[in-house]
Amino acid sequence: MADIEVVSDSTVVDADPASSGSDGTGHNHHHHDHHHATGGVSFGPWILVLPFIVAILIRERVGVLENTEVRLWSTLFVSVSIQALPFLVLGVVISGLIAAFVSPDFVQRIMPKRPVLAVPAAGVAGLALPGCECGSVPIAGRLVGAGTPPAAALTFLLAAPAINPVVLVSTAVAFPGEGRLVVARFLASFIAAITVGLWWARRNDHSLLSKAQHLHEHEGSRWSNFVDVASRDLVHAGGYLVVGAMAAATLQLVVPRSVLDVVADNELLSILMFAALAVLLSICSEADAFVAAGLPQFSLTSRLVFLVVGPVIDLKLVAMHAGVFGRRFAMLFAPVTLTVAVISAVVIGQVVL
């Protein structure tokens, strides 16, 4: 979830691939794109540690909170967080390596020029070049600037955080014995990414991307860029994981069981609730499966909606889309992506689950 620094609303991404990461001698420098999404939430390092300390202390040191429900809440919160943390770390390490060692210009060079071929190729590239959802936004912006068909760049933006191996493995670990859910997540996410990409190729509206913004790049060695990307992603993703784990534990204990049962018994309400939670909680795709697994009374299809929607559209991504591509693009792209993701998850859920 790398930060991006937007230079101006009117600056267009340099369309010359050689101008990005070149020093004039032909030698490529790998840089890290930073984006400070306007109005976004920024988590400091304390967000990774403080809630764990509080959860442990309230169990051992505050007598008035020694009741069963509070202890259960802290247990649920800590267990979800600790289960997800290794996959979160692995995900940000891989994302950092790709950001530091794989240039978007390389992706642009191997991508077919015809959108009808470039869109599925970009979907497969999302599987081969995994990354977190926030890291994929600046990469997509640079791909557009380097001359990649916009439909392909947007397909990569949606596929990379949704179908990469780390996400699929974390889903399998969070849902042991439910291999069909892993298959359903892959299929629904891949179909959603391809569908949105083909929709954009058919629309072919370059005016909405005309305000794609220049991404300020900081020079440095590949390893220093890796450390920069991985550390920032870990802090930001960890913050959202903590929020998600707290929300899952709170839903289980604060919301009356009768209310949860009513929603769980109504498939439409369950689907709408999980779609809304995915957008609002903004959890990293490497960790969201553990949050969904913490709500076992809901159907697999409704939880699949949560797993498919979250990596492709949420509040932090809308802010980043607006910062990189412009507000007009974000206001169109967000509802279309949300609708396609929900429909894809529901249809695949009915077929596979």
Top pLDDT among 82 and 278 is at 278
- Between CA 164 and CA 98 the distance in angstroms is 13
CB of 30 closer than 8 Å to CB of 217: no
Span of 44-48, 102-106, 226-230, 261-265 with lowest mean pLDDT: 44-48
Taking only the tens place, the pLDDT of each residue in 183-201 is: 999 999 999 999 999 999 9
Taking only the tens place, the pLDDT of each residue in 288-341 is: 998 899 888 899 999 999 999 999 998 888 888 888 888 889 999 999 999 999
pLDDT at position 40: 42
Top pLDDT among 278 and 147 is at 278
Task: Please report which confidence band the pLDDT of residue 219 belongs to, taking 50, 70 and 90 as the band edges.
Answer: low
CB of 113 closer than 8 Å to CB of 149: yes
User: Span 16-30, mean pLDDT?
Assistant: 42
Residue 302 amino acid letter: S
Top pLDDT among 29 and 136 is at 136
CA-nearest of 66, 40, 62 to 239 is: 40
Residue 52 amino acid letter: F
286-305 burial string, b = 16+ CB within 10 Å, else e?
bbbbbbbbbbeebbbbbbbb
**pLDDT above 60: residue 211:** no
Residue 346 CA: distances (Å) to CA of 37, 260, 287, 291, 309: 31, 20, 21, 19, 11
CB of 157 closer than 8 Å to CB of 137: yes
CB of 341 closer than 8 Å to CB of 192: yes
